[in-house]
Every structure is written in C-alpha cells, then in structure tokens.
Structure 1
Amino acid sequence: MEPAIEKDVTRGGQFLVKETKSEDIFTPEDFSEEQRMMRDSVKEFCDKKLWAQKEKFEKKDYGYTEEAMRKAGEMGFLSVSVPEEYGGLGMGFVDTVLVCDYISGATGSFSTAFGAHTGIGTMPITLYGTEEQKKKYVPKLASGEWFGAYCLTEPGAGSDANSGKTKAVLSEDGKYYSITGQKMWISNAGFCSLFIVFARIEDDKNITGFIVENDASNGIALGEEEHKLGIRASSTRQVFFSETKVPVENMLSERGNGFKIAMNALNVGRIKLGAACLDAQRRITTEAAKYANERVQFNTPIASFGAIRSKLAEMATNCYAGESATYRAAHDIQNRIAAREADGAGHQEAELKGVEEYAIECSIIKVAVSEDAQNCADEGIQIFGGMGFSEDTPMESAWRDARISRIYEGTNEINRMLSVGMLVKKAMKGHVDLLGPAMKVQEELMGIPDFNTPDYSELFSEEKEMIAKLKKTFLMVAGGAVQKYGPDLDSHQQLLMAAADILIEIYLAESTILRTEKLVKSIGEQAAEGQIAMAKLYLYKAVDIVTAKGKEGIASFAEGDEQRVMMMGLRRFTKYINMPNVVALRETIAEKVVSANGYAF
C-alpha cells in the first residue's frame, strides 16, 4: 500500500507529466552546514591523499589504493550510509551522494574501489542481510577493517546478469553450499575480505546471492591483475570458485532473490555513478582554465581565444546540469525513504523502495553525467593541446578513467532502453499517467496552432514553456511508438534509444532551469548571471538534441500523413520565439570560469 503521506510528492517518472516548482527541488546551494563541512573534509582528503599522489595510481600501486581506502575508513567516509547500529554514521541519501561525488574526482582508481566497497560490496548486506549477517559483517566493512567485492559478471553473463553459470550445490547434511564457477572484472578482488557472490541453485529460474569470505584454502583462486585502459590502480581480477563451502546461513535474502538484489544494487549504483563523475568534471574544468590562463600563444593567453572559451563554457555548463539533476533526484529518493519510514516501513524496505521508485531518474543521470564526464576530459585534452596527450598532465589519465563510466552499472545503451521501458511499465501500472497527456498532445496536433505572441517578460518564462513543449515531443514520439509496436516495442532498440535521449534532455534541462530559478530568488539575477547563462545554454543544446532524435524516432515508425503531422508537431514543439544568443551565453560563462581560474559554480 502506498504511504498516504506521499499523495502530493512527484513519483518517479512523473516529472514528464507533472509540473515541478523550483521551491520543491533540492540543490547543492541547499547543503546544510553539516553537509558543507562533510564536503570540505572529503575534498581535503582527496587533495592530500589522492590528487597529490596521482602518479602512484597511474603506476598501478594497488597497495596505495588499499592504504587510501583504509584511511577513508578511519575518517568515516566508508560508513556514511550505514545505520548507526552497525557502526555507521546513519546519514541520509543526499549525504551519501555528496560523499560519493566529492571523493571520486581525483582518480578513477580510488573512485572504483570506493564505489565497489561502499555500494555493491556493503549495501547488499545492509539492505538484504539478516540481523546476524549485518552484525557480523557490516561493522567491519563500515570501518575499513574489511573490504568487500561483488561477483556477478561472468564470461557469458554481462548485461544479461541472470544468465550466469556459477552453481551452488547444497551438501547432503544441509549445512553448506558448494559454489563452483568463474567470475570476471571483479573490482577490489586483490584485497577484499569478502565477496557478494551470485550463483544458481539447481535449475532455478533466478540466481541466488551469498556472502562468501575470501579464503584461499576454501577453493578460491584469483587471476592476475587485469591490464586496463584506465583505473589502473583499481584491483580488477577474475575470481575462481572450486567447491567453495559457504554456510547456509550466509545465503543473502531468499533463494532465487539474487537477480532482484543485483538489479536494486544497480539502481543505487547508477545515481552514485553519476555523482562520482561530477567532481572529475569540476577538477578537469579547473585544470583546463588554469592552463588556458597560463599558456601564451601569439602573445596572448589562450584563455582569451573564443574557441577555448567556448569549450570552457560547455564543460562548466554540463557539470552544472549534472549537479542539478543528481541532487534533485537524490533528495527525491531521500524524501521517499523518509515517507515510507514514517508510514511504518523498516529502514531496509524504505530504502529499497525509495530508490526503486526513482529508477528511471537513476538511469537518466548515469547516462547523462558519465557521457558529459568523458566529453569534459576530451575537451580538457584539447585545451592542453599536445601537452594534454602527455602523462605529465592530469588530462590523459582523466580521459582514460572516464571511459569505464559508460560501461559500469549497466552500459549506457542498456540504461537508455531501461529508462523508457520502465516509464512505459509505470504507465501500464497506473503509477504515471502517460495516456491522458499523450491523447491531449494528439488532439493538439490536429488542432489549429495559437499564433498569438506570448508574454515572456519574466525570467525563464519562455524556457519553462519550451520544456513543457519538449515533454509534448516525448509524449508524441513515445505514444506513437507504443501505438505502432505495442508489446514489441522492446525489440526496436534504436527507436527506444532516440526516445531515451529526449527523456534525458528533458530531465537535465528542467533540473537546471529549476535550480537556477530557485537560486535567483535567493541571490538575485545579477549575482546568478553565470548560472542563468548556463541554464539557457543547456536548454538550447537540449532542444537541438530533441529535434534530431525526434526526427529519427518519427521517421522510424510513421509514414505518409501521420509522419507529416508529427514532423509539423516536432517543429512547433522545438521552436523558439526568441532565439538565445548562444555565443553571448558562452562568453558570460567563460568569463566566470576564466576569472575564477576554475569551475566557479
């Protein structure tokens, strides 16, 4: 039963059909004093222990990664989301995302170790473990005495996680399971104390989760460290289980519940992965700005060149948009968790259901921010020129480290299709009313357009109307696709991905506009000049993407008069009355970045 307290709270996916007010979202400017202190503490740790030691990570110093993880444990960073009764700080979901954000920007090697341990290494026990399991294992994981790893992927089971071949056979006396199989790409394998292992019992439809202590004498063997493009000092090995004995009391949750555990762990991991790509963008933008101010060509710092300033503006804008969406979703999840707890649910159920409710937003954030991080690093290299290609600068390692983010926690292709698929399923369950708004859009397409020029005198009035029109575009494209293909829509992956890109841009652009509108109400337009420019610039780029993806989507399923009507609707829904001066917007943003010698927002 849905908690009564949540009647007026926007549910996951409802951003598409329900207006959100700026005062109802959470932004980084809303951090409490305690959260700002935590952020500053994490940044200091990163600067001293990680950023200043980047060479060790690039030279595959796995021992230093482990040392830094233990230090993070001593400082409490590994226990932020762990309930106090199991040795954690018991902080909220926003705090968890905040720490993940600021601890991840210095090096992808540590970021991977941190995410694998706190997320998929510790969280499954915290959320699915029995009381005995939590008391036995979680305090050690929260303190950094022990480290965790997550064994899901196999040579034949990647995106199709439930197809794993690893077997778990119950002993004749019923006291333990013998696990046999091969796992690959296991982060933290080289120094972990326990594994979360997924295996199939008999011919069960779904896999089952187990807590397995790392003991070489118990049939556990590790492959050599993988040689990877990036995250070089992240321990990544294959793990081989040969009749590894696991007590029956170490089964995680119920038999056959492993696939559900894996999917819910990925939901949480997706928004954290997005957060983990934010501070990398801040640091890259800052390093690029510093270099651009120092590098002189033709007797002029290259920071004064329009081509360079355009790049800095785009880098900062994408980061700002990612921040806006990530913290908006994190706070929505936190509110959902609190509402369920107030309605009588336990912490485990409340957190699981809270994150699950916003799985669409988690996938959106994962895709958008991971791709922006890669683009940011790429432009960072370009600003550095030939030096950017050298290991002597931080740009090339940032580019290499960023590349894995588009693969982690489900590839971006999988997440694109998931976001639309989950939205359609929510609509079918009645959780999000897409049918009513989609029918209204169809009626509007057949009606006579309003040729009156609206009043856009208020800040963001045209931008907010544009976002409303972009939502109509999605409803038009997705609605037409569902009508055309029905239950077979899943097999039209390119159409799904085009629709997903429209959905992604709507959420990011709206989050950015709402954040900035809220900020302006607090500090005024003049003080928020740079943020206003970024909000307008991001929306302008979003409109271009929606236009291109809308054309692609419509052309893939509509023909004749239907296609012509939809194309006319697309032009109507993506048309500015007052086209923004994009060059001027970039110049405003770049001036803030160049003057501050770094990311200034």
Structure 2
Amino acid sequence: MATTDNELLRGGQFLVKETNCEDVFTPEDFTEEQKMMKEAVIEFNDREIIPHKPRFEAKDYALTEEVMRKAGELGFLGVAVPEAYGGLGMGFVSTMLTCDYISSGTGSFSTAFGAHTGIGTMPITLYGTEEQKAKYVPKLASGEWFGSYCLTEPGAGSDANSGKTTATLSEDGKSYKINGAKMWISNAGFCSLMIVFARIEDDKNITGFIVEFDKENPNGITLGEEEHKLGIRASSTRQVFFNDTVVPVENMLAGRGEGFKIAMNALNIGRIKLAAACLDSQRRITSIAVNYANERKQFKTAISEFGAIKLKIAEMATNAYVGESASYRAAKDIEDRIALREAAGNTHQEAELKGVEEYAIECSILKVAVSEDVQACADEGIQIFGGMGFSEETPMESSWRDARISRIYEGTNEINRLLSVGMLVKKAMKGHVDLLNPAMAVQEELMGIPSFDTPDFSELFAEEKQILANLKKVFLMVAGAALQKYGQELEEHQQLLTAASDILIEIYMAESALLRTEKNAKRFGKETQKEQIAMTQLYLYNAVDIVSKSAKEGIVSFAEGDELRMMLMGLKRFTKYTNYPNVIALRNIIAEKVKAENKYCF
C-alpha cells in the first residue's frame, strides 16, 4: 500500500495522475480485526434493529434511544474516538466499515448513529481543548450522553453562515447568552449535548459552542414537537429554541468566528460516512429483491428468469459494488494521509482534520453518487416486487422513503456537485493539483491529427483504461475551456458546473471499480472475478453515456463556431470504444450470479 507522501495521491489528483491497482485499498484487504468488527456489527444489526423494523416505522423514538445505548455499550459509538477519551481508537477504514454495516436495518437508526458519531462527537474530538475532550468525549463514546448538531435555521440551510442565532457575552465576561432557533435537529429529543452555532456581535463568521442540555434543568432551551417525516420516522427530529441559554466561555469550540470552518470540516466527514451508510442498504435491498424474484412466478416462470428483471438486478448489484469500491478507496487514502501527518509530528487532532480536508472533493463525489444509487436501488426494488412493493407489508417502501433524505442532508447533492468542481479549481489555483498543463495538452491533442493505429487491447482492462484516460481528457477539455471563458465568474454558471461535476463523479467511481477488480484479478485469478469484470465494464459503459451527455450540454452552452465544432469532435473521439462491450451479455452474467446465490454476493 502507498505509505509515503510521494506515492499517495492528493485529493483530486486522480484526475491527472495514474493510480496503480496495487495502491488502492479494497474490501478484500480488510484485516482480521476489521473482519471481526464487521461480523460483530452485522450481528448487532440482525439482532437489535432489523427484527424491530415495524416499531421504528411506527415512530418508536424510545426504541431508537435504547438501541443507541446498546451500541454504546458494545463500543460502536466510540470506534473513531481516541483511546485516551474512552474510544476504540480505530482507523478511518474501521470507522467507515462500522457505519456501513450498522446502517442498513433502518434509516431511523442510521441517522441517529451518524448524527451522534459524526457531527455530534467529531467537532469536539477535532476542535475541542484538552479539557473539553476529557469532559465530554468519554460520555459520548460510551453512549451515556448523545450528541446533536444545531446548525440549520429557518433562513439558513445551504447558506450555513447566514444564521441569525446570536451569542452575547455577559458583563462579567464569564459566559455567553445564546438566543435563536434551529431546525431539523437530529437526536434533539434525547440528546444531552448540542454543538450550537451562533454569531457574536457583527462577526463575519459564526462561532461554535458546546451546550449541555438537561430536560430537568433546560437552561432556556425548549424543543418543538417531533417532525413527521417521509422517512427515517423514528429518528428524533425537532426544532430547538434558545432563550437566554447561558453557556460558559470555556465552552466555545475552537476560536471566535471559527464556527463556519468547523461546520464545513464536520460535513466533509459526514459526507463520506453518509456514503458508507448507504452501502449495506443497497446490498440488502438487492438481496431481498432477488429472493422475491426467484420465488415469484408469473406465466409459470420465476420472474428472475425474465430479461427485464435481470437488467434491474444487474444494475442494482453493479452500483452497490462500485459505490463500495470507491468509498473504501477514499477511506484508506484518508487513513494513510492521517498516518503521514502524525508521522510528520502533527497531533492526531490536526492530522485527522487535515487528512479528511485533503479529500473533501472525493467526500462530495461519494455523497452524491452513493446517495443517488441507493435511491435508484430502492426504486427498482419496489418495481421488482410490483404491487407488493408499494405495500407497507414489504420492506421496499420504507427503504425507498428512508433513502430519500440521503440526497438532502450533509449538504444537498446540488451543493455537493458545485463544491466538488469548485474545490478542484481552488486546489489547482493553489498548485495542489496541476490542471493547467494536462488541460493544455488536451487542447494541443484536439488541434493535432488523431492516430489511426489499432491499439493492442489484449491485456485485461487495456481498452477500459484507455477510455478512462479519455474521459479525464473530456473533463479537462470542458472545464479548461469554461474556466478560460468565465474565469472567476465560473461559479455563477451552476448548470455548467453541475455538468462538469457529473463527469468528475463518473470518472472517480468507474476508476475505483476498475482498480479494485484489476487488483483482485491479479491476486486471485481472472477466472474468480468474472462477474466483477462484467460489473466494471457495465458501469464504465453507462459512465461513458453520462459523460457524453453532460459534456455536450456544457460545450454547447459556452462554445461556438470553430471552437464548438472542434470540441464536439474531440468529445466524439474521447467517448468512442474500439470494441463495444455486449451490454446485455454483461448484465446477464451479473444477474445469473446473483440469482444463483440468491443474494448480493460480491
């Protein structure tokens, strides 16, 4: 594995540097400790969550709190917390793994777990003083206390820094009084601690505070009624009102005006963990759907024999495999970056902050891609069940409802699409990712005469690698020309950025699957990876279509005349196969394997 600064790609560099398959982490690389953790989490989920799904759907908030306490007793709430503060001190991959496998029983528990372990606890472990961490983190790691995160307000959603909640310093300088209202606060109904963001005087940026909450002595805090939601029904979601809530000055988190930075970095962690939280849902939905398809007979034939159903099963399994590949690739990159920073003398706190921040682009990509895939998976799951899928008696409809929130929280997918490209451009301007030279090379290639030599594609994935390299050229061509035309005003062209983001997403996801499959084919033998090879080829085929459509949309929005013609010709050249795969045959290979195993089996 890559362990030196020179070997480990920086965030966003996947676009301009080649990655060797040996340097990516895959789920097949889990350590024995990680495999044991995975089994323990699955066993907990199967025992404590899935059998009680009807109670979660009936808005049994007390059950959510009870199961959270049990998760705390088993150490699951403290996987990412350093041992010094009562946690297990495990690495970032183990944190992702726990979040992945504990989240599939119901979105209600997944949301409570994610809000507590991520944005409820991590701001203190990452930004807290030694005193704050010693006082609060052990209680959060054990489940004695639960955390919530109070950022969103009625007038401040995606524009988080525009919040109106105020913090006023007392005359004796010993405390702040917080006044304001927060909304959509997960875990509000049973939390003992809130991370609250408020503005001091006319500061440009908000400030973070650690606020204790005791229902017997509420200190000016009142809660709204539980929100009645489309999904995640037993996740406690309430408005929180602060009326002269007194907070000691020592409970300020980081420095004055640092709240926006805390909020953004907490969301980076939240985004990649949200991707993880959508993975096992896809595996389970696919397994449940294929169980039903194997048993359900129409026209005296199991519906899993029908090509239209095989198409759905193959696409569901493929997206799950690809999402898993990309999520664990990024998780290990973050873990390695944290280790490098610690080796260089950073504190664990600084190392983790900078390690996650380095891969903020990948975190946004994963949040968008996997949240949309889990929704599509649940949607097709309903369709496979037919009329029964629409009934509350089957698990599909609740899975569909629970999946819907994933595209909204931790920053909407629209915001994350804009962020992924925006952050990449900023990294390029800082010199962290060299986009300029590769973009100029693509421009020169467009002006030159294309090669008509027949390439040698005899090696596994030789053509797929060539296509991936060409898709990267498409992004550089479109983004480079758009940046040249609009400069700093590019961020105002949101539809263009969205199109560029869709190209970026498909490149990262397709490449992650290819690298995983190539690595496993080399070490386990190509014959053991027949279905994984088919999934990798199928995903890339679909990605080429998405890239072609998005790039064309972008090009025709700003180019004209000779430039337009040249770029459209380049797009055609860069999205062309020499040997087109037989897509239907690929889907059949995947579906037959899933059918035979009667579950998602990769």
TM-score by length of 2: 0.99
Q: Alpha-carbon deviations, 1:409-461, whole Å to 9, x = none?
A: 10000000000000000000000000000000000000000011101001100
Alignment of 1:111-260 (within 5 A): 111-216=110-215, 217-260=218-261
Counterpart code for 1:149: S
Match of 2:26 in 1: 27
- Structure-1 separation of matches of 2:231 and 2:115: 16
- C-alpha deviation, 1:112, in angstroms: 0.2
| Structure 1 residue runs of 4 or more that deviate by more than 4 Å after TM superposition | none
Counterpart code for 1:36: K
Match of 1:310 in 2: 311
Counterpart code for 1:178: K
Match of 2:83 in 1: 84
- C-alpha deviation, 1:5, in angstroms: 4.4
Does the Cα contact within 8 Å between 1:318 and 1:372 map onto a contact in 2?
Answer: yes
SS in 1 for 2:94: helix
- Structure-1 separation of matches of 2:426 and 2:176: 37
SS in 2 for 1:168: strand
- Structure-2 separation of matches of 1:184 and 1:406: 18
- C-alpha deviation, 1:82, in angstroms: 0.2
- Structure-2 separation of matches of 1:168 and 1:190: 23
Match of 2:355 in 1: 354
Q: Alpha-carbon deviations, 1:291-330, whole Å to 9, x = none?
A: 0001011001101111001100000000000001000000
Match of 1:36 in 2: 35
Match of 1:368 in 2: 369
Counterpart code for 1:443: E
Match of 1:13 in 2: 12
Alignment of 1:372-521 (within 5 A): 372-521=373-522
**Cα RMSD (Å):** 0.7
- Structure-2 separation of matches of 1:559 and 1:524: 50
Does the Cα contact within 8 Å between 1:5 and 1:343 map onto a contact in 2?
Answer: no
Does the Cα contact within 8 Å between 1:322 and 1:368 map onto a contact in 2?
Answer: yes
- Structure-2 separation of matches of 1:424 and 1:22: 26
Q: Which runs of 5+ in 2 are unaligned?
A: none
- C-alpha deviation, 1:527, in angstroms: 1.1
- C-alpha deviation, 1:106, in angstroms: 1.0
- C-alpha deviation, 1:8, in angstroms: 2.7
- C-alpha deviation, 1:52, in angstroms: 1.0
Counterpart code for 1:173: D
Counterpart code for 1:145: E
Q: Alpha-carbon deviations, 1:176-198, whole Å to 9, x = none?
A: 10000000000000000010000
Q: Alpha-carbon deviations, 1:356-385, whole Å to 9, x = none?
A: 000000000000000000000000000000
- Structure-1 separation of matches of 2:517 and 2:332: 17
Counterpart code for 1:318: N
SS in 2 for 1:242: strand
- Structure-2 separation of matches of 1:533 and 1:52: 35
- Structure-2 separation of matches of 1:404 and 1:219: 30
How many residue pairs get aligned? The number is 598
Match of 2:331 in 1: 330
Q: Alpha-carbon deviations, 1:92-131, whole Å to 9, x = none?
A: 0000001011111110000000000000000000110011
Counterpart code for 2:481: G
- Structure-1 separation of matches of 2:108 and 2:185: 13
Does the Cα contact within 8 Å between 1:196 and 1:210 map onto a contact in 2?
Answer: yes
TM-score by length of 1: 0.99
Does the Cα contact within 8 Å between 1:82 and 1:142 map onto a contact in 2?
Answer: yes
Counterpart code for 2:439: A
- C-alpha deviation, 1:267, in angstroms: 0.4
SS in 1 for 2:535: helix
Match of 2:345 in 1: 344
- C-alpha deviation, 1:48, in angstroms: 1.1
Does the Cα contact within 8 Å between 1:17 and 1:433 map onto a contact in 2?
Answer: yes
Q: Alpha-carbon deviations, 1:380-413, whole Å to 9, x = none?
A: 0000000000000000000000000000110000
Counterpart code for 1:426: K
- Structure-2 separation of matches of 1:16 and 1:208: 35
Asked if 1:269 is matched to 2:245, the reply is no
Q: Alpha-carbon deviations, 1:225-280, whole Å to 9, x = none?
A: 00000000000000000000000010011000000000000001000000100000
SS in 2 for 1:527: helix
- Structure-1 separation of matches of 2:305 and 2:32: 37
- Structure-2 separation of matches of 1:110 and 1:54: 10
Q: Which runs of 5+ in 1 are unaligned?
A: none
- C-alpha deviation, 1:525, in angstroms: 1.4
- Structure-2 separation of matches of 1:514 and 1:46: 30
Match of 1:577 in 2: 578
- Structure-2 separation of matches of 1:277 and 1:101: 7
Q: Alpha-carbon deviations, 1:513-566, whole Å to 9, x = none?
A: 000000101211111111000000000000000000010010011001100000
- Structure-2 separation of matches of 1:573 and 1:204: 49
- Structure-1 separation of matches of 2:311 and 2:52: 31
Counterpart code for 1:494: Q
Does the Cα contact within 8 Å between 1:168 and 1:200 map onto a contact in 2?
Answer: yes
Does the Cα contact within 8 Å between 1:184 and 1:238 map onto a contact in 2?
Answer: yes
Match of 2:532 in 1: 531
